[in-house]
Every structure is written in C-alpha cells, then in structure tokens.
Structure 1
Amino acid sequence: MIHNYIFSDGKLVGHDLDLDALRLVRADKGLVLWVDLDQPTDAEIKAVLEGVFSFHPLAIEDCVAPSSLPKVEDYEDYLFLVAHPVDFSQPEKFATTELNFFIGKEFIVTFHRSALRSIMTVMDRCTKGTGPIARGTDRLAHLILDAMVDNYAPITDRLRVKVEEIEETVLSPDMIDLTPLLLDARSEIARLREVIRPQREVITRLAHGESKVIRNVMLPYFRDLRDNLVRIEETAASFADQLLISFDLYLSKSGYQANEGIKVLTSLTAITLPAIIIGSWYGMNFENMPELHMPYGYACAAAITLIFTGLMIWWCRRRHWI
C-alpha cells in the first residue's frame, strides 16, 4: 500500500496522489513529499523506488532485503537509513521489525513490511494538525524516529517488572526453578541492547551534522534523540546487572538449600548409626557370644542404643543440623 503526503511551508496541502501526480510533485522544488510504502507489493516497490525516485540499486537491494542491524549510508543526494522499531504484533516477547528511510532535501520515503505505531502516529499528526508540521524532510524523519524511540518505553517498563518479579521470587523462601525465566529475561535484555547500541550510533552520526541533508537547526533535536537512546541503553545495562545479581543469589540459594538437605540426611544417618552398629554386631550368627545368654543382655543392648542415639541427636542439634 502506498501513502503519500505533500507539504508546503510545513503545512499539509495534499495526500494520497497517484504515481503520475507524484512525479509532478517531485519536479516542484518548493514542495516536501513523504511517501510511505506499507507492506508494498513488488510492483509498488519498483514503481516508487525505481520509477519515481530512481534510487541506487544497492540502496533498493538493502531496503528490500532484511537487515539485522540499524545503519545509515550517505548517497550524496539522500540518506539511506535502517532503523528497528518495536514489533507490537508479538506482545508476549520483545521483538523488532525493520523500518527503512530514504531522506532527501525535498522528499522522504519510508518502507516497512508491517504496520508501525510510529508511522501511524505521525500520519495522524499530519492529517489532524492545523499548523506547520514539517518544514523539511529532516523534521519528518525526526518525528518518526522520536515516536519510534518513545515506543521502547513499554518494553523497558515490562522488562523492569519482569526483573523485579525474578528478584522477589529469588528472595522468597519457596524453591522455584527460575532457570527458564532467567534465560528468557536475559535474551530479551540482550536483544534490546543489541538493537539500541547501533541505533544510537546512527542517530549520533545524524546529530553531528555529517550529512548535508540534515539542517543545522535540526541537530539539537537529533542530539536529544541520541540522549534518549543512551538512557534506554543504560537502563538495559542496569537490568542486565540486576539479572546477574539475581542469578548469583539464585545459585547461592540453591546451593544453600542443597546443603540443608545434605545436613538432614547426614543427621538421620548419624542418629541411626548406634542402632545399626549394635544391631549388626549382635545379629551375627556366632554360637559362642556370651552376651546372648546374659539375663540382662537385651536390656543392656537397648539401653546402650538409646543412650548413644540420644547423644547423636544432641550432637546434631548442637551443630544446627536438625
């Protein structure tokens, strides 16, 4: 699906034109054009990226093919940028999807294979806003990237809750197998850091004004965007540290409870040891055992067994084994 918006002096003057009209708008140097390719067909990709804008074949190839990490490339007249916004179609697990940008002086093209909240937020702002929205393509790009970064907030909040729940479970007296929860949280945090770090580097390049496409007036906005990504990365790093501490506590707790179990088993063995020794000794089938014919032999054996059993109980309690 192809959406397009035309701006003049920052105000929306038209939208959803056909391809022939888009070519005329491209020829008008006083207008700003935003074309959004939302889950496009191969024919739409070719018609827009090749037919209307004539982008470099390598840029088109990078746009169409999935990219695992964010990046930015300068093609002199335009920037090609890959970002990774949150994929909200998988609510149970943190995942990202791909959002591609072609940013020129008078045009911006966005390309994505799934519906994105950040794109829809900016579209609503364009259609419902009355004042100037975007006097330049760099401003439109910032609006989309800013909405994309804001959408990471629910993810960090959910990870914070998950890490705190793991901490509470570790500190509780109940023994629960936390290995699946720890591994799941660790993979999500690692994925978040893996995505945020290169995106921060991409935005840092834009904030430094390395491209002529980004106006000087927009540099503070991109620096603010970079700072937001730094905060998210630091938050993810703190989650990783908390998770590591929780894992160490879990191992210590597991080792302690295992030792407690061993103490109980050792105590039971020690307590029953006198009865086992005396019973084994007098249970031997020898004919000449004087104690077997003593009038008080049984009573003496029972008394000795009880005395030594009591001593073993006292000894185990003194060592806090029982």
Structure 2
Amino acid sequence: MTRAGVERHPVEALGELLRRVSAGPDTVGADGGAESSVGATRAEDDAGFVWVDIPSCEKNAERVLLDVFGFHPRAVHDCAERNLVAKTHSYADHVFVVLHGPEQGENGHVHYIELDQFIGRHFLVTVHGPLNPAVEPSVALRETSSVLERMDAGRLRPTSAFELSHAIVLALAASQERFVEALTADVWGLEQRVNAGHLGEPEPFLDELFRARHGLLAARTISALNRETYVRLMSRAWALPPRVRPLLAEITDEFEQVRGLADVQREYLQGVIEFYRTRIDTKMTIAAERLAVIAAITLPITAVSSIYGMNIIVNTRTRPEQLIIVLIAMAAMSAALLRWAKRRDWW
C-alpha cells in the first residue's frame, strides 16, 4: 500500500472525495479537523477507501451521514442518541456496528463510551456517541487518535476499511483490558487490607469493595455485549467478504479474553468480600458472647441487690459487717461464674 502526505478536507467535500476513492483515486490522508477527521487510503489490490471520524453527531454530521453516504435514518438516529447496548445491522453495501467501552467516573460510577461504525468497501465512518458532560471529549477519541498516530508513523497500513476498523476495535479492547487491570490493582489492595486486619470503619470499606465489584461487572457486561455483536456479525457471511472473517474472529477472541479477566477478578473479589464479612461476623459473635458472659457474671449481683434493695444502705439498724458480708457474697458468686466461663473457653 502506498500513502501520500496528510491533508484536511471539509465535511462538504466528502461526497466528491468518496466518489474519487470509489473510482480509484490517488492516495491521500487527513488528520482531525474541527468537524471531523477525514482520510483516504488506496491499496494495490483495491480501489481504496475513505475514513471519516466524527467526534459528535450533530446536525451537520447527520446531514453528511444521510445525504452524502446515504445511510439508513434509523442508523443515523442511533448515532445521535445514546445506545444502551451494543448492536449491529447489515445493509446492502455496509454494516453498522455500535460498541461501548468503560471509563471510570467519580464515586465508583462507570461511564459507557460509545463508538459507532459504518463499514463498507470504500469507506469507514466512525461516530462517537453522546458523552456525559463529566467525561472529557478526548476520552472518546482515544482509540481513533491512537490508530491515526500509528498510521501517520507508518506502523499501521490498513488495506481495507475492515482492516482499519479491526485496528480501532482492537485498540478499544486493549483499553477495556487496561480498565480491568486498574481494577485488579484495587482488588489486590483491598485483599491485602483484609488479610492485614487494617479495615477501618466497616461501611466505607464495604463501599470500596462494592464499587470495585461494580466496575468489574460493568467491564464484563460491556465486553460480553461487544463480543456477541461480533459473533452476530460473523454469522452474516453474505454481508462480508471471506477475508474479513479472520479479523472478526480475532476481535471476538479479544473481547472474550477481557470478559474472562473481568469474571476471574470479580469472583476473586467476591471471595475477599465473603472473607471480610466472615471476619466481621466472627468479631460480632465474639463480642455478643462476651457480653452474654458479662451479663451472666453480674446476674448474682443484680439478684442480691434486687432482694435487699436500698434497705441495707439506708436502714439505720444495718451494721457495717452485714454490708461487707453481702458485698463479699456478690463478689464470690461473680468470681465463681467467671471461673466456670473460662473453663468452658467462653472468656
């Protein structure tokens, strides 16, 4: 594959650029502009393709998707709105794919970063879905920007739109794996604190445990849904050229690996949570047993004092030796009960 320099093309020129590439143009490329990143490449055995990266599907971008590329209105609507799950649709000359990636937010919240793709023979259009205002826009462009940098440096030379999509999705899977690795480090730290006994207040510590578990569950869910999307895409052989199937199989394996990692760490964390709960329950049981022993030891004192009441103290006929005898009897009964509790390992 040959590749010329880097140029910028306004959104309005996409129609002409697409027609040139379909007819077999010279090789050109482009980096990110204000509206979108637009590029075109040409392989030796194909007519070439255009890559359009749209940071946000606003009205102008919707017009390009509808009028220039002629995409289905439902697919364009999916680009403009947030999609809760990953999915794919096949059309006559292209496929539409919706994927997600996790991004850690505040207070344990996990943001779903959406990446939409239109993949055809002569084009790849990547659209970044609506973002939560709390997420930096650069987060959504992380994978496409890294792929563009690799292309500019000559480390990546895709010969088709599916190869370029393959590179972008593998970068997305790698980001998900790093997300799981970061949570794994948190899990190990929590496990060390449990084993060392430095737990602090139970409620904040349990909150940390459950936040880590939520992050792993979110990563597992996202990877599983992304994988199922590509499994469905692989089943549609009529919509894909044969050389694309190995690329889809590799993507499926990558998402399966991330899902497996998240599952393993989630199970490990569940073991840490159960161990922590067991330690807390054991401490509460020991405390309850000791309180019960204390209540049993003080029972004779309560019984004797309830019988005699205040009469021994306030009665003028009560002699001091009588009060001493009663106190000695109370102490003797309590000591006998304490000795009996120790013999039974209750104290």
Q: TM-score range by the shorter chain?
A: 0.7 to 0.9
8 Å Cα contact 2:150-2:156 kept in structure 1: no
- State the 1:285 CA deviation: 4.4
8 Å Cα contact 1:12-1:127 kept in structure 2: no
Match of 2:52 in 1: 35
**Deviates further, 204-213 or 74-83:** 204-213
8 Å Cα contact 1:12-1:126 kept in structure 2: no
Structure 2 residue 165 is matched with structure 1 residue 141? yes
Q: How far apart, in 2, do the equivalents of 1:92 and 1:11 lie?
A: 44
Structure 2 residue 291 is matched with structure 1 residue 249? no
8 Å Cα contact 2:102-2:219 kept in structure 1: no
Number of corresponding residues: 307
Name the SS for the 1:100 alignment partner. strand
What amino acid is aligned across from residue 289 of structure 2 in structure 1? K
Name the SS for the 2:126 alignment partner. strand
| Structure 1 residues 12 and 313, CA gap change in structure 2 (3 angstroms) | farther
8 Å Cα contact 1:70-1:198 kept in structure 2: yes
8 Å Cα contact 2:119-2:162 kept in structure 1: yes
Structure 2 residue 189 is matched with structure 1 residue 173? no
Q: How far apart, in 2, do the equivalents of 1:299 and 1:90 lie?
A: 66
Name the SS for the 1:121 alignment partner. helix
Q: How far apart, in 1, do the equivalents of 2:106 and 2:285 lie?
A: 42
- State the 1:221 CA deviation: 2.8
Match of 2:174 in 1: 150
What amino acid is aligned across from residue 155 of structure 1 in structure 2? F
Name the SS for the 2:52 alignment partner. strand
What amino acid is aligned across from residue 128 of structure 1 in structure 2? A
Structure 2 residue 278 is matched with structure 1 residue 261? no
Cα distance per residue 1:7-59 (max 9 Å; x no partner):
xx46356542234543233223223111111125312331x212221111122
Q: How does 1:27-176 map to 2 (within 5 A)?
A: 27-28=19-20, 29=22, 30-46=47-63, 48-87=64-103, 93-113=109-129, 114-115=137-138, 116-129=141-154, 133-175=157-199, 176=201
Cα distance per residue 1:47-96 (max 9 Å; x no partner):
x2122211111221122111111111001211111011344787975322
Q: How far apart, in 1, do the equivalents of 2:114 and 2:107 lie?
A: 17
8 Å Cα contact 1:71-1:202 kept in structure 2: yes
8 Å Cα contact 2:48-2:160 kept in structure 1: no
Q: How far apart, in 2, do the equivalents of 1:304 and 1:284 lie?
A: 17
What amino acid is aligned across from residue 17 of structure 1 in structure 2? H
What is the root-mean-square deviation in Å for CA atoms of aligned residues?
Answer: 2.9
Mark the runs of 5 or more structure 2 residues left unpaired by the alignment. 23-46, 130-136
Structure 2 residue 227 is matched with structure 1 residue 235? no
| Structure 1 residues 88 and 278, CA gap change in structure 2 (3 angstroms) | closer
Q: How far apart, in 1, do the equivalents of 2:107 and 2:207 lie?
A: 18
| Structure 1 residues 210 and 91, CA gap change in structure 2 (3 angstroms) | farther
What amino acid is aligned across from residue 188 of structure 1 in structure 2? G
Q: How far apart, in 1, do the equivalents of 2:101 and 2:322 lie?
A: 86
Name the SS for the 1:54 alignment partner. coil
What amino acid is aligned across from residue 340 of structure 2 in structure 1? W
- State the 1:144 CA deviation: 0.6
TM-score (norm 2): 0.78
- State the 1:314 CA deviation: 0.7
Cα distance per residue 1:151-201 (max 9 Å; x no partner):
112211121122223323333434531331232123222222221111001
Cα distance per residue 1:121-142 (max 9 Å; x no partner):
111122221x771111100110
| Structure 1 residues 12 and 67, CA gap change in structure 2 (3 angstroms) | farther
For residue 298 of structure 2, the aligned residue among 272, 289, 297 is: 272
Q: How far apart, in 2, do the equivalents of 1:197 and 1:85 lie?
A: 11
Structure 2 residue 338 is matched with structure 1 residue 313? yes
Match of 1:183 in 2: 210
8 Å Cα contact 2:176-2:219 kept in structure 1: no
| Structure 1 residues 16 and 285, CA gap change in structure 2 (3 angstroms) | same
What amino acid is aligned across from residue 184 of structure 2 in structure 1? R
8 Å Cα contact 2:102-2:222 kept in structure 1: no
